[in-house]
């Protein structure tokens, strides 16, 4: 077989080398220069005839070509000081028929200026690339894993274990739980632990999607399929999720007429773009979530039974924060750490009184609400400790924490001796005032606030019970 270069005339070759890598040098195994191209001669200010046959280090200052020709190890993009400036050079060992015969050196940039000009041209492209990378990560990749799901209570751990166990299955998962319990976090974590993790995670909010846009959003459309259709068409959510996971959030809020369209995709596992030429096969894992009671909706005829069965292959019920009161303390501390980072306020702690209040509140908004409360507290706390007055008023104003809980009489232990009611009330008031003063570090205004009392009634009570200080 003919050599690959045989068709190129000999006198073309040098020009080809000059164009391919401006400054080029070739040495034999002993580091003797066999070839120095025109551009390199010009850069070094030497004649080729003078240089050829000489040891490379005698012609090129600080050269390492003789080392590469012996070691057989390439040196790529190394800084090479020459002629008072630092150029960037590549040195490659030259193997012919498997044998090390010498080395080839090229100069990528003859000085840092060249490199700067080059990187200036490259920078906008890199910025653009990073922008799309971030956009892709934000829109198409899952952001959380099971490590982000904090909680040690039994019910929560059971839900987490089940979710882990079914992560890699292909079956549909229905996540049930009140608003703010972490259903979306679970969906991310399930995808992250599955073998689909390197494929997209696409969220479709079924509550916010207008009926008129459902088809184009969910199935996509072809260019020119309707007035206003985007040039090049648009990929729908199912197509975008292909190979990965689609998370149908707030599925209980999907209008009945759209439920049948969704059911068709789930049954047939194919979609057809609006104005498309035919169906496209899709391979997506379906996760869905709702705070609604789907069984009740099915019974009332507002949710399709067949769709319910499709989605509810594996049901995971996420407990409300009320049902995992033991987790409130640890979760508050975790959320505090998160907020410290977000708001750049470090070294904060939550006081015992605040923990008491948080533990007895009923948390209708669950972890999302707790997160908001902690964020607010971090914002309004001046010192390093979060006290009750840093919580929103509805959490503590005018009430003792115990009134938040539905205490059953038979749950209350009988303690101490039975006193006449007036005396018991007096003792309780004295104790409550002393506790509040202690919690407020002796500050009467703060103590009054903690007790949910006006300043003057607090002072009246203090003088009635002769309490002057702690």
Ligand X SMILES: Nc1ncnc2c1ncn2[C@@H]1O[C@H](COP(=O)(O)OP(=O)(O)OP(=O)(O)O)[C@@H](O)[C@H]1O
Binding flags for ligand X, 243-272, as an x/- string (CB under 6 A): ------x-----------------------
**Bridge pairing between strands 285-290 and 245-249:** parallel
Q: Decide whether 205 or 397 has the Cβ nearer to ligand X.
A: 205
Minimum CB separation from ligand X for residue 188, in Å? 8
Residue 280's DSSP bridge partners are 271
Minimum CB separation from ligand X for residue 414, in Å? 38
Q: Decide whether 148 or 429 has the Cβ nearer to ligand X.
A: 148
Residue 80's DSSP bridge partners are 87
Helical H segments across 220-327, by residue range: 237-240, 256-268, 294-300, 305-311
DSSP of 80-114:
EEETTEEEEEEEEEEEETTEEEEEEEEEEESSHHH
Q: Tokens 């012609």 correspond to what residue?
A: 59
Minimum CB separation from ligand X for residue 351, in Å? 22
Which residue number places its CB atom closest to ligand X? 182
H/E stretch holding 235: strand 234-235
Q: Decide whether 66 or 320 has the Cβ nearer to ligand X.
A: 320
Minimum CB separation from ligand X for residue 368, in Å? 4
Minimum CB separation from ligand X for residue 236, in Å? 22
**Bridge pairing between strands 75-82 and 245-249:** unpaired
439 binds ligand X (CB under 6 A): no
Q: Decide whether 36 or 378 has the Cβ nearer to ligand X.
A: 378
Q: Decide whether 331 or 436 has the Cβ nearer to ligand X.
A: 331
Binding flags for ligand X, 333-372, as an x/- string (CB under 6 A): ----------------------------------xx--x-
177 binds ligand X (CB under 6 A): yes
Quote the CA–CA distance of 84 and 112 in Å, as a whole number. 11
Quote the CA–CA distance of 317 and 156 in Å, as a whole number. 9
183 binds ligand X (CB under 6 A): yes
414 φψ region: left (φ > 0), alpha (ψ -120 to 50), beta (else): beta
**Bridge pairing between strands 85-96 and 99-109:** antiparallel
153 binds ligand X (CB under 6 A): no
194 phi, psi to nearest 5 deg: -90, 170
**68 and 93 Cβ atoms separated by less than 8 Å:** yes
Q: Decide whether 371 or 389 has the Cβ nearer to ligand X.
A: 371
Quote the CA–CA distance of 210 and 198 in Å, as a whole number. 30
- Which span sits near ligand X by CB under 6 A: 33-41, 86-94, 148-156, 217-225? 148-156
Quote the CA–CA distance of 418 and 412 in Å, as a whole number. 14
Instruction: Name the residue among 254, 275, 241 with its Cα closest to residue 210.
Output: 254
181 binds ligand X (CB under 6 A): yes
- The DSSP 8-state label assigned to residue 146 in this structure reads G
**Would you give the distance in Å from CA 159 to the centre of its chain?**
22
Coil, strand, or helix at residue 457?
Answer: helix
182 binds ligand X (CB under 6 A): yes
Q: How many residues bind ligand X (CB under 6 A)?
A: 17
Minimum CB separation from ligand X for residue 89, in Å? 50
237 binds ligand X (CB under 6 A): no
- Which span sits near ligand X by CB under 6 A: 31-39, 145-153, 224-232, 379-387? 145-153
Binding flags for ligand X, 275-294, as an x/- string (CB under 6 A): --------------x-x---
275 φψ region: left (φ > 0), alpha (ψ -120 to 50), beta (else): left
Q: Decide whether 179 or 242 has the Cβ nearer to ligand X.
A: 179
**Would you give the distance in Å from CA 107 to the centre of its chain?**
41
Minimum CB separation from ligand X for residue 137, in Å? 17
Minimum CB separation from ligand X for residue 405, in Å? 23
CB atoms within 10 A of CB 106: 18
**395 and 380 Cβ atoms separated by less than 8 Å:** no
Binding flags for ligand X, 185-224, as an x/- string (CB under 6 A): x---------------------------------------
Rule CB under 6 A: choose which of 179, 225, 302, 385 binds ligand X: 179
- Which span sits near ligand X by CB under 6 A: 8-16, 129-137, 180-188, 211-219? 180-188
Instruction: Name the residue among 391, 376, 380 with its Cα closest to residue 439.
Output: 391
In the region spanning residues 99 to 118, those forming contacts with ligand X, defined by CB under 6 A, are none
Q: Decide whether 103 or 287 has the Cβ nearer to ligand X.
A: 287
Binding flags for ligand X, 366-395, as an x/- string (CB under 6 A): -xx--x------------------------
Minimum CB separation from ligand X for residue 151, in Å? 5
**Could you tell me the CA-to-CA distances from 114 to 38, 44, 125, 126, 250 in Å, in that order?**
19, 17, 18, 18, 56
Site for ligand X, rule CB under 6 A: 149-151, 177, 179-185, 249, 289, 291, 367-368, 371
């Amino acid at each position: 077989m003919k050599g690959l270069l045989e068709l190129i005339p000999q006198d073309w070759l040098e020009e080809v080398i000059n164009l391919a890598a401006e400054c080029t040098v070739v040495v034999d195994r002993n580091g003797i220069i066999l070839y120095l191209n025109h551009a390199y001669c010009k850069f070094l200010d030497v004649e080729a005839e003078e240089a050829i046959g000489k040891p490379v280090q005698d012609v090129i200052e600080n050269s390492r070509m003789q080392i590469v020709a012996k070691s057989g190890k390439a040196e790529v993009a190394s800084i090479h000081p020459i002629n008072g400036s630092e150029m960037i050079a590549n040195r490659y060992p030259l193997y012919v028929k498997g044998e090390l015969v010498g080395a080839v050196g090229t100069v990528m940039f003859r000085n840092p200026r060249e490199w700067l000009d080059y990187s200036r041209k490259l920078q906008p492209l890199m910025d653009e690339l990073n922008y799309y990378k971030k956009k892709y990560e934000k829109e198409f990749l899952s952001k959380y894993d099971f490590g982000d799901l904090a909680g040690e209570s039994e019910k929560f751990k059971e839900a987490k274990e089940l979710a882990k166990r079914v992560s890699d299955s292909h079956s549909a998962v229905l996540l049930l739980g009140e608003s703010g319990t972490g259903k979306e976090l679970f969906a991310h974590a399930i995808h992250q632990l599955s073998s689909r993790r390197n494929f997209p995670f696409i969220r479709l909010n079924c509550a916010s999607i207008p009926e008129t846009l459902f088809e184009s959003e969910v199935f996509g459309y072809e260019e020119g399929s309707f007035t206003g259709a985007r040039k090049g068409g648009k990929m729908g959510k199912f197509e975008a999720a292909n190979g990965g996971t689609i998370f149908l959030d707030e599925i209980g809020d999907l209008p009945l007429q759209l439920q049948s369209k969704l059911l068709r995709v789930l049954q047939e596992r194919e979609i057809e773009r609006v104005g498309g030429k035919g169906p496209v096969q899709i391979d997506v894992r379906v996760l869905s979530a709702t705070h609604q009671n789907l069984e009740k909706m099915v019974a009332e005829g507002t949710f399709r039974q067949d769709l319910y069965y499709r989605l509810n292959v594996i049901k995971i019920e996420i407990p409300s924060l009320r049902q995992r009161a033991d987790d409130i303390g640890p979760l508050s501390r975790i959320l505090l750490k998160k907020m410290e980072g977000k708001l750049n306020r470090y070294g904060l702690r939550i006081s015992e009184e605040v923990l008491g209040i948080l533990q007895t509140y009923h948390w209708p908004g669950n972890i999302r609400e707790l997160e908001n409360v902690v964020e607010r507290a971090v914002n309004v706390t001046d010192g390093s400790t979060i006290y009750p007055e840093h919580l929103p008023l509805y959490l503590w104003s005018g009430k003792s924490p115990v009134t938040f809980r539905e205490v059953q009489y038979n749950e209350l232990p009988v303690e101490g001796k039975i006193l006449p009611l007036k005396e018991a009330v007096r003792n309780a008031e004295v104790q409550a005032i002393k506790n509040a003063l202690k919690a407020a570090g002796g500050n009467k205004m703060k103590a009054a606030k903690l007790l949910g009392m006006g300043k003057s009634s607090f002072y009246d009570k203090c003088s009635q019970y002769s309490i002057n200080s702690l």
